[in-house]
């Protein structure tokens, strides 16, 4: 077995945009420490092919302020994608377009305008800031810790995202499931044809949400104290709500829910499906992003606060953040974390006393920021210990193996076996009904597709 490696670099000080087209091997793109683009390539031969000149498969050219790098496909015997790796380092701040067809693509720690495309390979972005365009036909997409506006276009690819935030998110998908947790976008538009949508929003004000699915379940999860005005419509699917606010059906067939809170601007939410259910649920441990929203308001008030009415406004914000953080802390089950949060809240109140505001406003704001970050991180730590219903899915991208294992465990359960014979027809019917109900619940929560549900229901009917 032969191993080949290659290292190259190009000066991009006069370049504004970088285009990378990869057909060679799995690739990771990261940030360069200088104004050069660095390439490290490592490939392996299966032992059946002849030696090659790796550099001949690397093509580059510059067109004006755009640099293009083409990594060409290798002979078949050199396509050992399990061990091969390309590492590309791009200077910070450059516009980047990265494309792949069949090899995994990972982008980490980048900043700037990023355009990532995949046909059939996994695509992952993590710890990046800027503006993002993501496109995939069949390859699964993973997004983690992104800060910036997002435009996503999917065909059959599933998408999993966590801790993403910006001002605007637009997503269109044909058949891929969409799962987004800890997401914060005031402007939001998601549309799918057959894929399920799960969206867990953080606290936002004055937002505009539009979520639509033809045949896939639509599940929206709300944080505490979110001000909103909601309308929901489904042609043939059920609409279920676990929220305390009443869901009212109007004469037009459209459901309406209003949760206006004093002193806030509600987020307008519009939900629509054709043949699928709509589910609204509440997570008391979600929405820690409210801390950052309140701190922004507090910072703005402190900047103006000098005396009289302005100082009173700042004090009202201080009372507001103390009350809301205390409410969040009250739901924390881990006593040591709860104590840390309560202690940080009390220190913040002391630091933001009227006397403190008059004496040293800048240092007070800095201290408040530090304390709010402590509170935020502690609350996040507590959230990691809380299981949500989506944590039951062990396989990433809504994998089916975990579902099959779960169904098998239910069917083979010793508690059910006595009733699976011919002992009591009535009890047998009850079990069948419970099984059907469980399958429908899993369908509504997006854990199985309508096709899988039909197969499972048919299997029960045959038994």
User: Model pTM?
Assistant: 0.67
Q: How many domains does the chain have?
A: 3
Q: Kindly report the CA angle at 73 between 72 and 77, in degrees rounded to 5?
A: 145
Q: What is the DSSP letter of 266?
A: P
Is 418 exposed, middle or buried, given 0-12, 13-18 or 19+ CB atoms closer than 10 A?
A: exposed
What is the rounded (10 degree) CA torsion for 56, 62, 63, 69? Answer: 50
Are residues 133 and 1 both part of a single domain? yes
Using DSSP's 3-state secondary structure scheme, residue 60 falls into strand
185 is a domain residue:
no
User: 87-134 pLDDT, tens per residue?
Assistant: 999 999 899 999 999 999 999 999 999 999 999 999 999 999 999 999
279 is a domain residue:
no
Of the three residues 384, 417, 451, the one that is the final residue of a domain is: 384
User: 2-47 pLDDT, tens per residue?
Assistant: 788 999 999 999 999 999 999 999 999 999 999 999 999 998 876 6
Is 144 exposed, middle or buried, given 0-12, 13-18 or 19+ CB atoms closer than 10 A?
A: middle
Q: Which domain holds residue 340?
A: 290-384
Are residues 8 and 130 both part of a single domain? yes
Are residues 422 and 303 both part of a single domain? no
**Residue 306 pLDDT exceeds 70:** no
**pLDDT of the residue at 4:** 86
**pLDDT of the residue at 398:** 35
147 is a domain residue:
no
265 is a domain residue:
no
Mean pLDDT of 421-444: 59
Of the three residues 86, 110, 139, the one that is the final residue of a domain is: 139
Are residues 13 and 130 both part of a single domain? yes
257 is a domain residue:
no
Are residues 41 and 129 both part of a single domain? yes
Residue by residue, DSSP assigns 424-453 as: -HHHHHHHHHHHHHHHHHHHHTTSS-HHHH
**pLDDT of the residue at 3:** 83
């Amino acid at each position: 077995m032969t191993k080949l490696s290659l290292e190259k670099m190009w000066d991009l000080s006069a370049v504004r945009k970088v285009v990378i087209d990869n057909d060679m091997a799995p690739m990771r793109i990261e940030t360069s420490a200088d104004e050069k683009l660095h390439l490290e390539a490592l490939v392996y031969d299966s032992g059946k092919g002849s030696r090659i000149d790796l550099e001949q498969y690397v093509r580059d050219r510059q067109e004006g302020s755009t640099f293009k790098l083409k990594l060409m496909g290798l002979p078949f015997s050199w396509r050992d994608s399990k061990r091969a790796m390309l590492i590309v380092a791009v200077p910070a701040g450059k516009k980047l377009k990265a494309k792949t067809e069949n090899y995994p693509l990972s982008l980490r720690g980048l900043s700037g305008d990023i355009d990532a495309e995949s046909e059939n390979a996994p695509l992952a972005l993590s710890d990046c800031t800027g503006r993002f365009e993501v496109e995939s036909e069949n390859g699964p997409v993973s997004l983690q810790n992104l800060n910036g506006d997002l435009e996503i276009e999917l065909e059959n690819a599933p998408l999993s995202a966590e801790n993403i935030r910006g001002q605007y998110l637009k997503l269109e998908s044909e058949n891929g499931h969409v799962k987004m947790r800890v997401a914060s976008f005031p402007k939001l538009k998601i549309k799918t044809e057959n894929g399920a949508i799960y969206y867990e929003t953080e606290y936002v004000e004055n937002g505009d949400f539009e979520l639509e699915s033809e045949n896939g379940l639509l599940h929206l999860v709300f944080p505490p104290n979110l001000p909103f005005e909601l309308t929901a419509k489904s042609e043939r699917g059920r609409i279920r709500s676990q929220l305390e606010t009443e869901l009212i059906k109007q004469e037009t067939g459209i459901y309406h829910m209003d949760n206006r809170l004093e002193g806030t601007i509600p987020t307008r939410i519009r939900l629509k499906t054709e043949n699928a259910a709509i589910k609204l649920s509440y997570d008391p441990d979600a929405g820690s992003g409210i801390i950052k929203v309140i701190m922004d308001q507090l910072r703005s008030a402190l900047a103006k606060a000098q005396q009289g009415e302005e100082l009173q406004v700042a004090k009202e914000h201080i009372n507001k953040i103390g009350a809301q953080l205390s409410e969040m802390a009250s739901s924390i089950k881990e006593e040591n974390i709860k104590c840390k949060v309560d202690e940080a809240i009390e220190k913040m109140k002391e630091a933001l006393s009227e006397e403190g505001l008059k004496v040293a406003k800048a240092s007070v704001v800095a201290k408040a920021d530090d304390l709010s970050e402590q509170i935020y991180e502690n609350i996040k730590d507590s959230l990691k210990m809380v299981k949500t219903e989506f944590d039951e899915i062990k396989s990433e991208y809504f994998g089916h193996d975990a579902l099959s294992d779960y169904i098998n465990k239910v069917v083979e359960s010793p508690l059910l076996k006595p009733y699976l014979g011919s002992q009591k027809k009535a009890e047998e019917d009850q079990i069948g009904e419970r099984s059907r109900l469980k399958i429908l619940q899993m369908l509504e929560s997006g854990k199985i597709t309508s096709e899988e549900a039909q197969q499972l229901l048919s299997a029960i009917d045959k038994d």
